[in-house]
Amino acid sequence: KTLNPQWREQFDFHLYEERGGIIDITVWDKDAGKKDDFIGRCQVDLSTLSKEQTHKLEVPLEEGEGCLVLLVTLTASAVVTISDLSANSLEDQKEREEILKRYSPITMFHNIKDVGFLQVKVIRAEALMAADVTGKDSFNSFDSKSDPFCVVELNNDRLLTHTVYKNLNPEWNKIFTL
Give mean pLDDT in consecutive 10-residue pieces for the chain, a chain of 178 residues: 79 61 86 84 89 87 90 68 60 68 68 69 87 54 72 76 86 82
Same domain assignment for residues 101 and 57 = no
pTM over 0.75: no
pLDDT of residue 23: 87
Same domain assignment for residues 8 and 50 = yes
End position of a domain, from candidates 44, 76, 108: 76
Same domain assignment for residues 71 and 87 = no
pLDDT of residue 57: 92
pLDDT of residue 141: 46
Residue-range definition of the domain harbouring residue 5:
1-76
pLDDT of residue 42: 93
Same domain assignment for residues 112 and 158 = yes
Burial of 10 (0-12, 13-18, 19+ CB in 10 A): exposed
Same domain assignment for residues 5 and 66 = yes
pLDDT of residue 68: 92
